[in-house]
Copies of this chain bind each other. A is one copy, B any other.
């Protein structure tokens, strides 16, 4: 099975030029939230032990966005992921690292100099928001691992992938009031404190608990559940779920109040 996949990928590396749109790739910054921290899903390349964002190429008859959706499905085993294109990384300089060269060598591809993978690529950055616990990370044929990494403690990344993550976070921060951030990162029901932690992480600052509670409830986008939470040695919080209808309606105009 693993062997078969590798052959499939080798085959694609050989026939890629015929299959894919030249010069353009997609890379996905997959955000998850766990234990009070933001995480991104990264792949570890076999050939150089460096980490990279899950990415891929665009079939000649495929929407660019669909290529990103493919990559996401393959790495996370999830369907219907929330996805947002955030930037096209188009500098000449980003192709200078010759990352592809060693990869091709390692895979035993001939004619490396003229290989399509060696050409210049621009890449479209997409960020995804996923529910951490639902994801089953799957490495691709060129990778040995696919694991979560805290955004505050990233490993060595290929090319400009670190900048791509940072840009993704920056855009997410600015779009916070217009994106269904909590809805996609949290499970169906959750205590308000979890949502507050997400907002604090994205905004990079502490928020007053009482004020956050009052404000988020004032939008009328949360439904209170009867159930209680079982956690630490303290009073149990109520659980809430998003009222999808009013939440998405509120997002159209943005959650306008300040945080």
Chain A interface residues (CB < 8 Å from chain B) = 21-24, 58, 60-65, 85, 87-88, 90-93, 120, 122, 124, 174-175, 178, 254, 256, 258
Contact = CB atoms under 8 A, between A and B. Distances in A.
5 contacts: A21-B122, A23-B23, A24-B24, A63-B93, A90-B124
A63 B91 CA distance: 4
**Oligomeric state, in copies:** 2
Contacts of A63: 90-93
A85 B92 CA distance: 16
Contacts of A22: 22-23
Contact of A65 (B21, B62, B65, B90): B90
A88 B124 contact: yes
A124 B256 CA distance: 29
Contacts of A174: 175, 178, 254
Given A21-B120, A23-B21, A258-B256, A64 B85 contact: no
Contacts of A61: 92
Nearest to A21: B23
A119 to B, nearest CB: 9
B21 A60 contact: no
B85 A88 contact: yes
A24 B122 contact: yes
